[in-house]
Chains A and B, each alone.
Chain A
Amino acid sequence: MNWEDFLSFIALQESSSLLNPILRNAHIINESDTSITVSCDNLGIKIYIDNKRKEIEEYIELFLKSKKSLVTLVEAKGKKKAKAIEREDLPILSYPSSLQYVLEKAYLQERFTFENFAVSNSNQIAHAAAMAVAESPSVQYNPLFFYGGVGVGKTHLMHAIGIHILKKFPEKKILYCTSEEFTNDLIDLIRKKDTLQFRKKYRSIDILIIDDAQFIAGKTYIQEEFYHTFNTIVKNGGQVVLSSDRHPNEIKELEDRLRSRFAGGLMIDIQNPDFELRTAILLIKAKERNISLDIDAAKRLAERQTDARALEGTLLQLYSKSLVLNSNAKITTDMIDSEADKQQHNFIQNSNPNDIIKTVCLFYNIKSADLKGPSRKSELAYARQVTMYIMRTVLKTKLDEIAFFLKRRDHTTILHGVDKIAGLMMRDERVHKEIDTIVHSL
């Protein structure tokens, strides 16, 4: 219901001279099939409206031609924004030593900052955009949408944005969460019949940071709630930052209105870190943990370990080995080679073709029965060929075994599929990224 139109309608009725002007100090915040919720600037207005509830509900019925109950709550809405706190001002209510408390409240992790974010060609635009938003939230790119594969630094950048904003604007209300947490929160409060509490929590935020936004796809009510939350925050001058593992256009079952909202800001692709960036990340992580790692060892490790997320884990494994093997706890290139070979061997031992089939089906959103079936539809055939390629190159499975798993007639089909994907990977960067993403998620 358009509130302004409703107020104009009331003005034409024989209502009290006070009603319409007072209703202008209320704002509709939610509407369902059976009720309309309005927020009032203060308790006096709420009480006045509550006393006139019956009259207002009659007007609503006349206006909408359907009965809806009126719910009121008090929500202070500054008609003018509080003066921006100058850089020098330190609020008394959260002075420097409580930064940790403030970060905890916002669910931000102090270890993810701009200072320890390694920048390279694959992520420098994302880094620049993140810095711009952190310096001046809600001014430049709203929303800011990062997408990319696993371990490329999306979460790091999002935390860094939040921390930077909190340091610069301590009075801002910031919340970081994953879309799964958003969903769980909503479900929990629906169960407790307290959706107003949910809306109060999320819609009064100045900066909302949502990680893994792709998981709201396919969930109608969650998407609707998120849509309204998004609109309210942006309308109130807030900033939204999101991330996903793929471009919004590639997120299936995502509502068009959300897709269009995301497209209204800036969408940035973060590529997998290249060799130089992986080396830089290793050196940063080694320094943070006081691990002795020279540049040659860092380069070797960056060569052997292409998964950015696994870099730190591998580094720590090597470090603990080095503590046992040599007294100065130095990580050598031999240790790196030996560990990498061992990991490869373990991976092949522990993985099986069914894992690959499952992962590919999940990625392309197809059924495993269709993947193994006789259908030659292009999307199924393509997914099938990707499966063949991964089984062959990663698990080193024999061609006839692959044919058996995928219910193909003979090994030549498999060979053709593997070669086709190998060729596509060389020509098309997008295919290369897709395969990498699937392999990493194994």
Chain B
Amino acid sequence: MKCTVKTKSILPYLQNASRFTGSALSKVTALSGTLLRVLDTSLIVKATNINDFYEATVLCSSSQDGKMLVDGKKLVEFLALIPDKEVVIEKKDTSCVVHTSRGTGVFSCFDDSDYPDFPISPVDYVELNKEFIEAIPLVSFSASKEESRPILTGVYVDTSLEQLKLVSTDGFRLSVVSANTTTLPFPSSILSSRVLLDTITMLKESKSLQVGFNSDDQIFSFKGDDSVVHMRTIQGDFPAYAKVIPTSSQTIVEVDRQEMITNLKLCGIFARDYSNIVIFEVKKEEIRMRSKYEGEKNSIQTQGYISFSGEDLTIAFNYKFVLEFLQLVHSDTITISFGGSMSPCLFAPTDSLKEIFLHVIMPLRTDEVLT
């Protein structure tokens, strides 16, 4: 195998491919490698972790057909430092040799005889609009990072309603986005939040982004201009999320978002020592935020309201959850609807996103709130 390829062309695809070789299974040599295959004037880059698959096609020249499985991460590091506009990549015996103006880089090839087969692409694809693309980051941050509960690491793509809904939860907070698009002609499924976010990041610059579904293999395929990501669904039932969305509230406030970010960061300096717990004293005049056990010491932050309605209450949150939400949205103000000290609270932006995005955070149970 041999080909000449533009460095700037191939590098992003190799970087994308290395996202798929970083799983626990990458201890398996074959799965830690990136497959390079030359077919006429195309260099195909492939990587998989056996559940998710990435393939991209790059133009190349002076080619000789063939394939090899190499350590993609090392190759990326090497090529990133090369100033050459073009490099020659060839397979020599059991090595991958990259010829540059500065010299050569020699990388060992892995045995590719048993490299997993890639899924067959679906017959039909459907166009995804930018609303779907923009919705993914709004939900993926709430998904769990713990692999011990795979269902919660996913984003639930609910296609059962007229409007497409994307939902994620880690058990302590919940995000729901009603994507401003008609629903997809596929069954409701759970997709890995991490892979979905990576996919959208990799493919969002494509002129056209499409999605298809292979029901036999339970795989969704996201196709960009020259890349495809095949993503296996996560098996199991997503929790009944609708039940936990509050429908009524005891107190509703609107506050300045940036001010609250600053206040929470200040409280967080002390809250870090107390399981990230910040107590919110929501009173008619102002909202006071402090770390647990701080009492009347001077690490209390206060903030006024844009509006307040309802009753005073005291409530505790993991401040990082609130901060993540505040940093994700862009509106000048946000609204918080409280149902009570022990009830889930609804956080919402006040700009156009408020029609489609809601975020629920469960408060914490502490002695200071219960007494």
Contact = CB atoms under 8 A, between A and B. Distances in A.
Contacts of A80: 147-148
Contacts of A81: 148
A16 B275 contact: no
A369 interface: no
A87 interface: yes
Contacts of B172: 89-92
Contacts of B304: none
B101 interface: no
Interface stretch (B5-13, B72-80, B362-370): B362-370
B171 interface: yes
Interface string B238-282: 010000100000000000000000000000000000010100000
Nearest to B27: A21
A82 B170 CA distance: 11
A430 interface: no
A351 interface: no
Interface residues of B, number: 50
Interface stretch (A44-52, A339-347, A432-440): A44-52
A88 B343 CA distance: 13
Nearest to A92: B362
A441 interface: no
A83 B343 CA distance: 23
Interface string A77-113: 0111111001111111101100000000000000000
Contacts of B361: 92
B161 interface: no
B116 A18 contact: yes
Interface string B334-371: 00000000111000000000000000111111100000
Interface stretch (B28-36, B81-89, B221-229): B28-36
A17 B69 CA distance: 13
Contacts of A22: 25, 28, 50
A90 B365 contact: yes
B175 to A, nearest CB: 11
Interface in A21-35: 21-22, 25
A22 B146 CA distance: 21
Nearest to A20: B28
Interface in A171-195: 171
A54 to B, nearest CB: 15
Contacts of B27: 21
Contacts of B110: 17
Contacts of A87: 365
Nearest to B316: A88
A18 B51 CA distance: 14
Interface in B148-184: 148-150, 169, 171-174
Contact of B50 (A19, A45, A93, A171): A45
Given A42-B150, A89-B364, A19 B114 contact: yes
A70 interface: no
Contacts of B123: none
A74 B236 CA distance: 10
A82 B111 CA distance: 36
Contacts, number: 108
A42 B51 contact: yes
Given A18-B116, A19-B114, A92 B360 contact: yes
B272 to A, nearest CB: 14
B344 A95 contact: yes
A44 B342 CA distance: 40
Contacts of A79: 24, 147-148
B167 to A, nearest CB: 12
Give the most central of A42, A76, A92: most B CB within 10 Å: A92
B303 interface: no
Contacts of B50: 22, 44-45, 48
B61 interface: no
A17 B147 contact: no
Interface string B120-145: 00000000000000000000000000
B229 to A, nearest CB: 14
A16 B52 CA distance: 21
Contacts of B363: 90
A304 B247 CA distance: 56
Given A22-B25, A42-B51, A86-B275, A92 B232 contact: no
B19 to A, nearest CB: 16
A44 B362 contact: no
A18 B32 CA distance: 11
Interface string B48-62: 011110000000000
A90 B30 contact: no
B344 to A, nearest CB: 6
B342 A16 contact: no
A45 B218 CA distance: 13
A96 B218 CA distance: 36
Nearest to B174: A92
B148 A82 contact: yes
A171 B362 CA distance: 14
B217 interface: yes
B215 interface: no
A43 B50 CA distance: 9
Contacts of A48: 50, 116
Contacts of A83: 146
B25 A43 contact: no
A92 B152 CA distance: 12
A45 B236 CA distance: 16
Nearest to B148: A78
Nearest to A15: B114
A99 B233 CA distance: 31
A95 B218 contact: no
Contact of A17 (B29, B150, B232, B342): B29
B113 interface: yes
B148 A76 contact: yes
A81 B233 CA distance: 23
A47 B230 CA distance: 15
Nearest to A19: B114
B208 interface: no
B309 interface: no
A78 B147 contact: yes
B274 to A, nearest CB: 9
A18 B28 contact: yes
B24 A95 contact: no
Contacts of B29: 17, 21
**The 3 A-B residue pairs with the shortest CB-CB distance in the complex, in nearest-first order:** A78-B148, A44-B51, A16-B114
Given A92-B344, A95-B342, 8 more contacts: A18-B116, A21-B25, A21-B31, A78-B149, A82-B149, A88-B316, A90-B364, A92-B362
27 contacts: A17-B30, A17-B111, A17-B113, A18-B114, A19-B114, A21-B28, A21-B31, A22-B25, A43-B218, A44-B50, A44-B232, A74-B235, A76-B149, A79-B24, A88-B277, A88-B316, A89-B318, A90-B363, A90-B364, A91-B172, A92-B169, A92-B171, A92-B173, A92-B360, A92-B361, A95-B342, A95-B362
